[in-house]
Amino acid sequence: MLSDDFQDTPYWWEAAAPAEGMAGPLPGTTDVAVIGSGYTGLCCAVGLAERGTDCVVLDAGALGEGASSRSGGMVTGGQKFVVSGAIRGLDAVRQQRILEDAHESLTALEARVATYQLDADYARTGRVILANVPRHYARLTYWAGLLERAGSTVSLLDRTRLPTEVNGRRYHGGLLIEDYGGLHPGKYHRALRTAAAVRGAKLFSRAAVRRVQRTPQGFVLNTEKGEIAAREVVIGTNGYTGGLVPFLQRRIVPVAAYVIATEQLPTGMMDSLVPHRRMLSDTQRSLYWFRPSPDGTRIIFGARPRAREAEARVAAGDLHRMLCDVWPQLHDVRVAFCWRGNVGMSADHIPHMGVHDGMHYALGCNGSGVAMMSYLGTQLANKILGQQNRPCAFDSAVFPAVPAFRGKPWFVPLVVGWYRLCDRFDRMAAAFE
C-alpha cells in the first residue's frame, strides 16, 4: 500500500521545498516585524516592502515549513461561510460585507498571481461538493439557492450526471461551484517569499519569537537570533499560534489535518476519475476532500484518519482505505506521500483581523486559508500604511474565545468521534430509505 520511496513530508515539497532565510544576525530595528512566514505574513511583507516600508519576517522554523505549504491548495471565494452557516447569526449588512470581501479574496489572489507573475500552477477549476447519502442532495439544492443569491455561479448534478465530474459510486449527486480554483501551495509560497525578498523584505528562519515587550517607541522582540526593535508587530501564525500572546492562543484551536498523495497514476486514469480536474469534497461532517495534482498525475486526498493523532504510516493506511471507498479502482495504486499540518479554527468559524495590545493579527483560516489569509495579509499592510479604502469586513473588536481552551485541543478527538458517529448513522439510515 505504501510505495517503495514513501515519504512522510508533503508532496508539494518535491517541487518547492521550504527554505532557509537570510544569513547573519537580525537588524537592530525595523518598521514592521511580522511573526510567521505563511501566506499571511508574506503577503503583508510584499504589501509593505513594495511601498518602501522596512519589514522583517520571523519564523520559528524554515520558511514555508508550516501549514501554508501543507494544505490542499484549494482556493475558495468564501462559499464556506454560506454553506456552513457561519454568518447566519450576523446582521444583514455584515453578512453582505463578509461575502463581498471573501469573493474579493479569490479575485485578489488571481490578480496577485498575474501581476507578480507567480509560478503557482493556479487554475480556476471549479469545485464539486458531493452528496454522501441521497437525502443530502436536498441540502445541496438549498445551498445552491443560497450561493446563487450570494453571487456564485453554481449548478446541480443529479446522480445520472455525476460521472461527468467524478467516476465513482459512493456519491448521490453534486453541486458544482464555478468560482473556485486550485494551485500548488509549495510553489505559491516560494513565489511569495521571492516577491517579498526582491522588494526588500528581510526573511529570517529559525528565529522563534520568545517574548514581545512594549516600549514608548513600539516593541522589542526577543528571538532565538537576538533582539529587534519594531514600530509595529504583525502576528500571522494561525494554526501554529503558541503561548506568545495568550489572548490569541485561547482563540485559535490547532486541528491536525492529514493528506496523502498517490504514486503516479497509469496513463489515462485521471481522465476517468476526474474528467474536468475539479476540486472535490463531500457532505460528511468528517469530510473527505480530494483533487488531482496540478500536473494531473496523482490524486491528493485529505481526511481525518482517526479521532486521535496518528503516525504518518498508520495515517497513510487509513487514508488509502478511505480513498478506495471513493474509487475502488485505486486499490492497487500505492501511497507515495503522507503528511499533516495544523488548521487554525476559531470559535465562530470566521477569520479574524484586529489589534491586541498594540499588535496587529490575522488568524483563523478555518480550512480556507490559501485565498483568505493571503487577502488578510494584504489588508494588514494596507491598514498599517493607512491605505485602506474601507475597513476589512473581518476586522472586528469581537474575537470570541474558545470555551475551556488554554492551548491544548483536548476536545478535538471527542468532536471527531461525534462527527464520525453521526456520519455512520446517516449511512445506516440511507440503507433503509
Reported in sequence order, the residue ranges of 2-43 that DSSP labels E, i.e. its strands, are 2-7, 29-35
Q: Are 359 and 278 in contact (CB under 8 A)?
A: no
Task: Enumerate residues 6+ apart whose C-beta is below 8 A from 422.
Answer: 285
All three cell numbers of 300? 491528493
Report which secondary-structure segment, H or E, holds 291.
strand 289-292
Separation of CA 322 from chain center: 21
The per-residue pLDDT for 418 is 96
The per-residue pLDDT for 78 is 86
Res 305 pLDDT > 80: yes
pLDDT digits (tens, 9 = 90+) for 367-417: 889 999 999 999 999 999 999 989 999 999 999 999 999 999 999 999 999
The whole-model pTM stands at: 0.96
All three cell numbers of 429? 439510515
Kindly list the domain boundaries of the chain, sorted by start residue.
2-431
Cα–Cα distance measured from residue 310 to residue 23, given in angstroms and rounded to the nearest whole number: 36
Cα–Cα distance measured from residue 41 to residue 360, given in angstroms and rounded to the nearest whole number: 11
Separation of CA 130 from chain center: 20
Mean pLDDT, to the nearest integer, of 159-166?
A: 91
All three cell numbers of 67? 501549514
Confidence of residue 84 (pLDDT cuts 50, 70, 90): confident
Cα–Cα distance measured from residue 387 to residue 222, given in angstroms and rounded to the nearest whole number: 30
Res 431 pLDDT > 90: no
Mean pLDDT, to the nearest integer, of 312-325?
A: 97
Res 169 pLDDT > 90: no
Q: Are 371 and 109 in contact (CB under 8 A)?
A: yes
Separation of CA 247 from chain center: 22
Cα–Cα distance measured from residue 262 to residue 6, given in angstroms and rounded to the nearest whole number: 10
pLDDT digits (tens, 9 = 90+) for 243-299: 999 999 999 999 999 999 999 999 999 999 999 999 999 999 999 999 999 999 999
Q: Where do we find the cell 537576538?
A: 226
Q: Which is nearest to 238 in space by CA: 324, 144, 352?
A: 352
Q: HSE (CB half, 13 Å, CA atoms) of 78?
A: 28
Rg (CA), the chain: 21
Res 151 pLDDT > 90: no
Mean pLDDT, to the nearest integer, of 330-359?
A: 96
Alpha-helical regions (H) of 152-285: 185-198, 246-249, 269-273
Q: Which is nearest to 417 in space by CA: 286, 291, 260, 290?
A: 286
Report which secondary-structure segment, H or E, holds 227.
strand 226-235
Superfamily grouping for domain 2-431: FAD/NAD(P)-binding domain (3.50.50.60)
